[in-house]
C-alpha cells in the first residue's frame, strides 16, 4: 500500500444526487459552528463557493485534535445543549491522551445506522424487527456506554434502555479471569439475546474458553462484529463455531460519526454514503483510485448536533472495484488505523489488514501482536494451541522481512499472554515509527 497521489482514475464515491445535501450541510455547519466558520474564513471560502464535488478540495480538512480542542462550544451547533434529552454522549475508545467526547442527537445516530444497514437487508430485518428486544454487547470496557462493565456491578446496572445488556469485560482481554468469562457466558444464556454485538477477538476468546471443556450453542439470530478490527484468527474461529443460519456481519462505527460502514451478505464492507459524505484520500488529500488505500474523510449530511466537515478519521480503507451484491454504497476493505501501520524500508506503510493477511489463520494460532519498535526492529508475539511452531516462525520471518525490508530484525516468540492497549482495546499491530 502507498499513499501517493493518483489523480488519474481517482474515484468519486458519492452519487451526484447527494450534492444538494452536501451544500446544505456545509452552509449549516458554517453558520452554526465556530470551528467550521474559522476553517472556511482562514482560506477565504464561503459555503456557496462549493458548487460541485471537486470544489470540496478548497475546504480545509479537520483533524481529531482540532475537534477535541474545540469541544464542546466550538463544534456543537449554536444554541444546542448537551443536556437535551435527545442527545447521546459517547466517548471514543482511543487511548487516554486522545480520547474524544462526542455527542449527537439520537435520531441522527438512528438515521446513520439505518442508512448503513441498507447494504445488508437480512441484518436490517433482524435489527429492525419489533420482536427484537434483547441484545448483548461484548467489548472492551471503554467501548461500552456503561462505565466499566465490572463484574461487581449487577446485570440491572448494565442494561441499556434499548434492551442491550453490556457484558462484564476485563480491561486486559487476555488477563480476563475464568470466573469473569464464565459470568459473561452465563449472562448471555440468561438474557437470551436476539442478536450479539461483539468485538470478534473478545468473543472468540470467550468461545475458546467454553469449548475447552463445555462447548455450548450460541443463542441469537445475528452477530454484528464491531468495536474493533476483525483479525483472521478470530473470524475463522467464529465461522467454525457459529450456528448455521445465524446472520453474521461486520460494522464499523465511530463515536464521532456513528455507523460508517456495514458488510453486505457477500461479506464486503460498504460505506454509508446514504447519510455521510465520504472521501477516500491520499496524503495530499487527493481521491484514491480503485485498488488503492486511502484515509476516510467524512462530512456529515443533514443537521446534526455536531457537524463534521472533511473530518480526518485516521482510518484506512482500500477502495474495491464493486461487489457482486451490486449495492450502490461503495465497496471497501477496512485496513485499520493509519497511525498503527508499520513503516517499510521502501517508504510505504503496511496496513494492519495487510499484516493480518500475511499472518492468516493457521490452525495453531490463537492470537498475535506485532510491534515495530524502529525501522529496523520489530517483534511478533503469538499465542498458540500447540506451543511454538518453528517452521511457521521461519516462514513468517521471511515474509515479514520481504515486506518491511531486509534490514529489519524480527523477534518471533510464542507467549501465554498478550497485553491490550492502555485504552483496553486489544490491537494486533502497532508501530513506534511515525
Ligand atoms: Zn456487497
The pLDDT score that the predictor gives to residue 100 is 62
Task: Report pLDDT for 99.
Answer: 60
Q: What is the pLDDT of residue 98?
A: 54
CB 257 within 8 A of CB 304: no
Q: How far apart (Å, rounded) are the C-alpha atoms in residues 193 and 219?
A: 7
Question: How would you write 118-143 as a 3-class SS string?
Answer: CCCHHHHHHHHCCCCCCEEEECCHHH
| Nearest partner of 170 among 213, 194, 197, 205, judged by Cα | 205
Neighbours of 57 (CB within 10 A): 16
Backbone angles phi, psi at 90, to 5 degrees: -145, 155
Decide the pairing of beta strands 164-166 and 135-138: parallel
* Distance of CA 246 from the midpoint of ligand 1 (Å): 18
Q: Which three cell numbers stand for residue 426?
A: 486489544
Residue 119, C-alpha cell as written in the block: 447494504
Distance 270 CA to ligand 1 centre (A): 7
Distance 369 CA to ligand 1 centre (A): 30
pLDDT on residue 93:
57
Please state, in angstroms and rounded to a whole number, the distance separating the CA atoms of residues 12 and 287.
7
| H helical segments located in 221-335 | 232-241
Domains and CATH numbers, the chain: 16-338 (3.40.50.12780), 352-431 (3.30.300.30)
Residue pLDDT, tens place only, 249-290: 999 999 889 999 999 999 999 999 999 999 999 999 999 999
Percent helix, strand and coil across the chain, each to the nearest 5: 30, 25, 45
Task: List, for the chain, all residue ranges whose pLDDT scores fall below the cut of 70.
Answer: 1-11, 91-100, 142-152
Q: How far is the CA of 268 from the centre of ligand 1 (A)?
A: 5
pLDDT value of position 255: 84
Residue 300 near residue 62, CB atoms below 8 Å: no
Cα separation of 328 and 322, whole Å?
Answer: 9
Ligand 1 centre distance from Cα of residue 135 (Å): 25
Instruction: Determine contact, residues 184/206, Cβ cutoff 8 Å.
Output: yes
List residues, by chain if needed, whose CB lies under 5 Å from ion ligand 1: 264, 266, 268, 323, 325
Position 1 scores a pLDDT of: 46
- 169-192 pLDDT per residue, tens: 998 999 999 999 999 999 999 999
Amino acid at each position: 500500500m502507498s499513499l501517493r497521489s493518483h489523480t488519474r482514475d481517482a474515484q468519486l464515491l458519492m452519487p451526484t444526487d447527494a450534492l444538494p445535501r452536501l451544500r446544505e450541510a456545509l452552509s449549516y455547519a458554517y453558520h452554526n459552528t465556530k470551528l467550521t466558520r474559522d476553517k472556511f474564513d482562514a482560506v477565504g471560502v464561503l459555503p456557496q463557493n462549493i458548487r460541485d464535488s471537486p470544489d470540496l478540495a478548497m475546504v480545509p480538512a479537520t483533524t481529531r485534535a482540532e475537534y477535541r480542542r474545540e469541544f464542546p462550544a466550538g463544534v456543537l451547533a449554536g444554541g444546542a445543549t448537551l443536556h437535551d434529552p435527545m442527545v447521546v454522549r459517547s466517548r471514543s475508545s482511543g487511548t487516554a491522551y486522545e480520547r474524544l467526547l462526542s455527542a449527537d442527537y439520537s435520531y441522527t445516530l438512528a438515521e446513520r445506522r439505518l442508512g448503513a444497514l441498507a447494504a445488508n437487508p437480512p441484518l436490517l430485518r433482524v435489527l429492525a424487527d419489533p420482536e427484537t428486544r434483547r441484545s448483548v454487547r461484548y467489548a472492551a470496557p471503554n467501548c461500552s456506554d456503561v462505565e466499566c462493565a465490572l463484574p461487581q456491578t449487577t446485570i440491572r446496572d448494565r442494561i441499556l434502555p434499548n434492551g442491550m445488556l453490556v457484558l462484564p469485560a476485563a480491561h486486559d482481554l487476555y488477563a480476563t479471569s475464568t470466573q469473569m468469562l464464565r459470568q459473561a457466558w452465563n449472562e448471555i444464556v440468561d438474557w437470551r439475546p436476539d442478536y450479539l454485538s461483539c468485538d470478534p477477538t473478545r468473543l472468540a476468546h470467550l468461545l475458546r474458553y467454553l469449548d475447552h471443556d463445555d462447548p455450548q450453542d450460541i443463542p441469537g439470530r445475528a452477530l454484528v462484529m464491531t468495536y474493533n478490527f476483525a483479525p483472521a484468527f478470530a473470524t475463522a474461529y467464529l465461522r467454525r463455531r457459529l450456528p448455521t443460519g445465524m446472520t453474521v456481519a461486520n460494522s464499523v462505527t465511530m463515536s464521532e460519526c456513528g455507523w460508517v460502514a456495514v458488510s453486505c451478505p457477500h461479506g464486503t464492507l460498504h460505506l454509508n454514503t446514504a447519510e455521510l459524505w465520504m472521501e477516500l484520500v491520499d496524503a495530499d488529500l487527493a481521491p484514491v483510485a480503485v485498488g488503492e488505500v486511502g484515509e476516510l474523510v467524512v462530512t456529515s449530511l443533514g443537521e446534526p448536533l455536531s457537524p463534521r466537515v472533511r473530518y480526518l478519521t485516521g482510518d484506512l480503507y482500500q477502495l474495491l472495484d464493486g461487489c457482486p451484491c451490486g449495492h450502490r454504497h461503495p465497496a471497501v476493505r477496512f485496513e485499520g488505523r493509519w497511525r498503527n501501520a508499520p513503516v517499510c524500508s521502501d517508504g510505504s506503510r503496511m496496513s494492519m489488514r495487510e499484516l493480518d493477511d500475511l499472518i492468516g489463520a493457521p490452525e495453531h494460532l490463537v492470537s498475535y501482536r506485532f510491534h515495530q519498535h524502529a525501522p529496523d526492529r520489530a517483534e511478533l508475539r503469538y499465542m498458540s494451541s500447540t506451543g511454538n511452531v518453528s517452521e511457521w516462525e521461519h516462514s513468517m520471518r521471511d515474509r515479514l522481512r520481504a515486506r518491511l525490508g531486509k534490514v529489519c530484525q524480527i523477534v518471533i516468540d510464542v507467549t501465554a499472554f498478550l497485553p491490550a492497549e492502555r485504552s483496553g482495546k486489544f490491537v494486533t499491530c502497532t508501530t513506534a515509527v511515525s
